[in-house]
Amino acid sequence: MARVFVGVGSSVDPEAHVRSALAHLHEELGLVRVSTFYATPALGRPSDPAFVNGVVEVRDRLPPAALKGLLSRIEDAEGRRRGGDRFAPRPIDLDLLLHGDTASTAPGRHAPSIRRAAPARARAGPRAARHRPPPRGDGRRAAPVSDGAARGTHPGAEGDPRMNSAKVEALVRELLVELGEDPEREGLLRTPSRVARALQFLTSGYRGDVEQIVHQAVFAQRTHNMVIARDIELYSLCEHHVLPFFGRAHIGYVAQGRVIGVSKLARLVDHFARRLQIQERLTEEVASAVLEAVKADGVGVVVEAQHLCMMMRGVEKQNSMMTTSSVLGSFRRSVATRTEFLTLIDQRHL
């Protein structure tokens, strides 16, 4: 298996672009080792911003020509513009330095010290190794790319609701090491990226907006009847153990001249379920959102769910079921309205 090294450099918002490029490389190829990153003045252009440079070893998955194509696509994704002044500042610069026995002969190109990533019980993931780089003119060492969120528009930045996937992947790798596993073995190579993608989906409720969900889906309708959507499947994560709970939600409301598209009721359940939750709060949040969206006379929500934190650990009660309800407006004021709702959602009475 050939050893493959890639030079990584940036002089435009380097914290964000280097971290993002590392995430791309890790996703596409897998990172083996990552060097310290250091800053050097732009060659012959003292007024330009300094370049932050480092080297990574990636897995040998592609021949050189295909790998160069992949590096170019990552550069394009990071906003690299080609042509014009080849020495101008750039968001990212990815150079194939070594592929097996074939090394780049570009002048002035030196690789800093590199070590193996994630040995047993050691730090894991795409973080900088703390080795002194070799002398390079008047180069000065830069702080390693941090595990903290990058600024600007990078995922995880302040003001940006996207999850920092690269940081989550690094944390998952650390967790695997702490559990006594080897994140470099075949079965776990892509586990950090898979977990990051899964968590991004399962917590997407933090990054959504109720107004966008119900946008243009509330319609004027001269009715004052009860509307019910029953057996809406839901999946969420318990905030106490980050284990799943799953079940069904039943939603009813008494319309007051307006109705909502029925699929939006399911989307509202998903919106609040896809975050760290407790069932009691989830039930209340769905009820309040429906009441506000439809301006209903009253709303009732019942959630029935099983919790893996109670089934596969702790008391280990496999058949336990938790039921919660929230009733607002006329559903709370009127026993008859509440009874009608509870009767209609109980299939045994239909």
Q: Which residues are catalytic?
A: 80, 90, 93, 95
Every domain of the chain with CATH number 3.30.70.560 lies at 4-202
CA distance 54 to 97: 11
Task: Give, in order, the Cα–Cα distances in Å from 177 to each of 81, 118, 144, 197, 198.
Answer: 39, 8, 22, 20, 20
> What's the pLDDT at 253?
95
Angle at 3 (CA atoms; ends 38, 24), nearest 5 degrees: 60
pLDDT in the model for residue 103: 61
What confidence score (pLDDT) does residue 202 get? 94
Q: Considering the entire predicted model, what is its pTM?
A: 0.55
Every domain of the chain with CATH number 3.30.1130.10 lies at 208-349
Q: How high is the pLDDT of residue 127? A: 37
Please report, for residues 1, 21, 176, 227, the alpha-carbon distance to residue 120 in angstroms, rounded to integers and kept in the order given.
Answer: 22, 26, 10, 58
According to DSSP, the residues that pair with 56 across neighbouring strands are: 6, 34
Residues 6+ apart with CB under 8 A from 148: 167
For domain 4-202, the CATH architecture is: 2-Layer Sandwich (3.30)
- Report how many helices (DSSP H) and strands (DSSP E) the chain contains, helices first: 10, 13
What pLDDT does 152 receive? Answer: 30
Which residue stretches of the chain have pLDDT < 50? Answer: 105-160, 348-350
pLDDT of residue 244: 96
Report pLDDT for 36: 85
What is the third-level CATH fold of 208-349? GTP Cyclohydrolase I, domain 2 (3.30.1130)
Residue 17 and residue 91 in contact, taking contact as beta carbons nearer than 8 Å: yes
**How confident is the model at residue 213, as a pLDDT?**
87
pLDDT at site 207 = 84
Q: What is the pLDDT of residues 261-319, one digit of tens each?
A: 889 999 999 999 999 999 999 999 999 999 989 899 999 999 999 999 999 999 999 89
What integer pLDDT is reported at residue 154 of this predicted model?
A: 33
List the beta bridge partners of residue 34: 56
DSSP H helices, the chain, are 14-28, 64-77, 165-178, 191-202, 210-214, 262-273, 279-294, 308-311, 330-333, 335-345
